[in-house]
Chains A and B, each alone.
Chain A
Amino acid sequence: MLTFTIRRLLLAIPTLLFISLIIFLLLDMAPGSPMSQIPLTVPLEVRLKMIEALGANDPIFFRYINWLHKFFVIEPLHVFDGLFGTTFAGDSLRELSWQSRSPVADVIAQRIPQTLTVIGMSYLLGILIALPIGIYSAYRQYSWFDQLGTFISMIGFSVPTFFTGVLLIVVFSVKLHWFPSIYDTTLKVTDWASFGKQVKQMTMPVAVLGLYNAAQISRYMRSSMLENLTQDYVRTARAKGLSERVVVLKHVLRNSLIPVVTVIALGIPTIFGGAIITEQVFKVNGLGQLLITAIYANDLPMVQTLTFIFAVLIVLFNLVADILYGILDPRIRYD
């Protein structure tokens, strides 16, 4: 198992390097640079010197290495310093956002909690709804519950989140005035009243994303259960005289959860991507919203860093899924 994990870890490194190269090259082609913002009154020699000092004239390879160094060494050191009050990073040059002139890492660190609360809750909710529905649908295949469940999951899977979100706003904010349509990030949870407010403003985004996730996961759960329910070991278990409850919830469920757990792990990074839209709908100022505003403002360092963070998340959770699969299903570990 250890060799399996190590091999997977080593394989992730070239993947990450390659993806970072793609992102770097793609954004390097972009028009606009920090140099275009130097006032025209600055003499040419000074301008050239500034360009040289910032390293904007170096060969592309050097700039790429430089960027990687910043992303993997300097910025983490600065974040570490900020957390524990150490001075490992010294006064090394940080990656600055062109929009706000503040370090990219700091801005991202400010936005992460909002994204994590909304997305984490919705993913959790999605899983909690999806598993029982998937299990019961498969156990009573073609019953009215199954028919209804597959129909609803098909709808949840087909209707894009930007439409469900807008629809919920129209119904519950505009018509019924139950929930606020805009997520208020400045809200601090201090007592029950503010907690209630927080729950209220989280309800709709979490419902939208949670439904979408539940639709996808319940489809996987159902088909995985169906596959396992017809296996020979199920008949053996029943023949032994085990109760139906033990057969389904112990024997079948455990085996069917294997692919579902991987799907859940694989889904986490795509949720970050999908949250770009939901955050935009409900004006949650999380990572996705940060990316959109950075794109609009042509803030390349921010876009570059965020895109790469999304890529790192994907590779990381691919790794987690692989390792989980190896732990849960010994047949996969071919070492």
Chain B
Amino acid sequence: MTDLAPMKLDEALKPPRNQWWDVWDQFKTHKGALIGAFVLGVLVLAVVAGPLFWRIDPAFIEPDAVKMIRSRNQGFSLAHPFGTDQLGRDMLARMIAGGKVSLAVGLVAMLISIFIGTTIGVLAGYFKRLDGPLMRMTDLFLALPLLPLLLVMVMLFRETLAGMFGPELGTFFLIVFAIGVTSWMQAARIVRGEVLALKEREFVLAARSIGTPSRRVILRHILPNVMSPIMVAATLGIASAIITESALSFLGLGFPPDFPTWGRLLFDGVEYMTQFPDRVIWPGLAISLTVLSVNYIGDGLRDALDPRIRGR
């Protein structure tokens, strides 16, 4: 008891710590989350910086027919650590290119779904008049059969969008938009719940009583306080978006054939899996590792951002 007082004084004299340091301290104690962050970091680094070191073009096919036939379906070698596919294209280069698309789809789709979810959640929570209609709409969306609808959306709009933006960019827009539009409901529900609780707190009352317009109350006071659940939902959203994209690609309704993503590579590999099983294992492993580490990071973030657990 006696040595507690000086320590407290010491702490009081220190400059105030940013709360994100506390979050980081808590995050560090979650071993799975740390490993997940490390693995995800390595994967992202490999995908982003990989093309700088591994300069083979993922779409390169030997123009010479004899050479092309010889270069097909190779196993492990120094020139091609992951082997080559049925057209002699380098698998490592294709994995890097595919990872870029898969991760980009996950990220952008998550941003769209979080944007829609947060907007609807905040509006429903803050404005009483909008609450009923918006939440009914959320319930309706939750009752939609999502995977079949996604497949139908891809089937219907792929040609149109491919005509507008080119096959690659068109499919990218379509898939990202379709996933975003069908995955915002959880985020909206969580945000609404938080906003409903926050709205009754004194600081919001204080802000309102000095005449702050609703827009600024939301942006300055409400939004920063619902950041933690949004961040957790966002992290988990990346994982589910990546899985959905690979599922679409795996069903052959994702990106066009010569445009690799991890799901597409897996789909292409299935045809050859009896002879060359490694061609399905690498892309599958990449998807699984990414999703697993993102899920672990989400778990860690949830613990770290929860003030009841933090500091215990």
Contact present for B143 and A314 (CB under 8 Å): yes
Are B156's CB and A160's CB within 8 A? no
Bound-state CA distance A163–B266 (Å) is 8
Q: Point out the residues of chain B lying under 8 angstroms from A307, CB to CB.
A: 145, 148-149, 152
B250 within 8 A of A: yes
Answer whether A311 and B145 are a contact pair too, CB < 8 Å, given A15-B139, A154-B295, A163-B284: yes
Contacts of A174 in B (CB 8 A): 273-274, 277
In the bound complex, how far is the Cα of B60 from the Cα of A264, in angstroms? 49
Q: Tell whether A162 is near chain B: CB-to-CB under 8 Å.
A: yes
Q: Are B247 and A292 in contact (CB under 8 A)?
A: no
Which of B146, B149, B296, B299 gathers most chain A CB within 10 Å? Answer: B149
Contact B287 A160 (CB under 8 A): yes
Q: Which residues of A contact B140 (CB under 8 A)?
A: 15, 18-19
Residues of B contacting A50 in the complex (Cβ-Cβ under 8 angstroms): none
Q: Which of A61-69, A164-172, A186-194, A236-244 interfaces with chain B?
A: A164-172
Whether A166 lies near B270 (C-beta < 8 A) is: yes
A22 at the interface (CB under 8 A from B): yes
Given A19-B143, A273-B145, A158:B156 Cβ within 8 A: no
Using C-beta atoms within 8 Å of the partner chain, give the interface range for chain A.
35 or more
Kindly identify, within residues 251 to 298 of chain B, every residue whose CB is under 8 Å from any CB belonging to chain A. Answer: 251-253, 266, 270, 273-274, 277, 280-281, 284-285, 287-288, 291-292, 295-296
Cβ distance B113 to chain A, nearest Cβ, rounded Å: 18
Contact A170 B152 (CB under 8 A): no
What CA separation (Å) do A19 and B143 show in the bound complex? 8
Per-residue 0/1 for B180-194: is the Cβ within 8 Å of any A Cβ (1 yes, 0 no)? 000000000000000
A162 touches B148 (CB 8 A): no
Query: How many chain B residues have a CB neighbour from A under 8 Å?
Result: 40
Given A154-B292, A167-B281, the answer on whether A276 and B143 have CB atoms closer than 8 Å is: no
Instruction: Say yes or no: B147 contacts A30, CB within 8 Å.
Output: no
Query: Is chain B's interface secondary structure helix, strand, loop, or mixed overall?
Result: helix
Partner of A160, one of B152, B252, B253, B291: B291
Chain A residues with Cβ below 8 Å from B287 are: 160, 163
Contacts of A23 in B (CB 8 A): 149
Main SS at interface, chain A? helix
The answer to whether B97 has its CB under 8 Å from any CB of chain A is no
Mask for B216-247, Cβ within 8 A of A = 1, else 0?
A: 00000000000000000000000100010011
Chain B residue at minimum C-beta to C-beta distance from A313:
B145
The answer to whether A273 touches B146, judged by C-beta atoms less than 8 angstroms apart, is yes
Residues of chain A within 8 A of B135, CB atoms compared: none
A98: Cβ under 8 A from any B Cβ: no
Q: Decide if B52 is an interface residue (CB 8 Å cutoff).
A: no
* A22 x B281 contact (CB < 8 A): no
Evaluate contact between B148 and A276: CB separation under 8 angstroms.
yes
Return the CB mask of A303-315 against B: 1 if under 8 Å, else 0.
Answer: 1001100110111
Complex: A276 Cα to B244 Cα, angstroms: 13
Cβ-defined contact, B247 with A160, below 8 A: yes
Is A310 within 8 A of B273, CB to CB? no
On whether the beta carbons of B288 and A306 are closer than 8 Å, the reply is no
Minimum C-beta distance from B162 to chain A (A): 13
Q: Select from chain B the residue with minimum beta-carbon distance to A291.
A: B148
Q: Is the CB of B273 within 8 A of A169?
A: yes
Measured between alpha carbons, how far is A142 from B239 in the docked complex, in Å? 26
Q: Could you give, for residues 141-160 of chain B, a 1 whenever the CB lies within 8 Å of some chain A CB and a 0 otherwise?
A: 00111111101110110010
The complex places the Cα of A154 from the Cα of B292 at a distance, in Å, of: 7
Minimum C-beta distance from B132 to chain A (A): 13
- Nearest CB of chain A from residue B86's CB, rounded to whole Å: 17
Is A114 an interface position by the 8 A CB rule?
no
Within 8 A of B (CB), among A266-318: 269, 273-274, 276-277, 280-281, 291-292, 295-296, 298, 303, 306-307, 310-311, 313-315, 318
The answer to whether B291 and A158 touch across the interface, beta carbons within 8 angstroms, is: yes
A26 within 8 Å of B (CB atoms): yes
Contacts of B296 in A (CB 8 A): 154
Given contacts A18-B140, A158-B292, A162-B250, 7 further A-B contacts (CB under 8 A): A29-B156, A31-B156, A31-B159, A170-B281, A174-B274, A303-B148, A318-B143
The 10 closest A-B pairs by CB, nearest first: A310-B145, A163-B284, A158-B292, A159-B288, A170-B277, A273-B147, A158-B291, A307-B148, A162-B250, A295-B155
Q: Which residues of B contact A (CB under 8 A)?
A: 32, 139-140, 143-149, 151-153, 155-156, 159, 239, 243, 246-247, 250-253, 266, 270, 273-274, 277, 280-281, 284-285, 287-288, 291-292, 295-296, 299
28 A-B Cβ contacts within 8 A? Answer: A15-B140, A19-B144, A26-B149, A27-B152, A27-B156, A29-B156, A151-B32, A154-B32, A154-B296, A158-B288, A159-B292, A160-B243, A160-B247, A162-B246, A163-B287, A170-B273, A170-B277, A174-B273, A174-B274, A273-B146, A273-B147, A276-B151, A277-B251, A281-B270, A298-B155, A303-B148, A303-B155, A313-B145
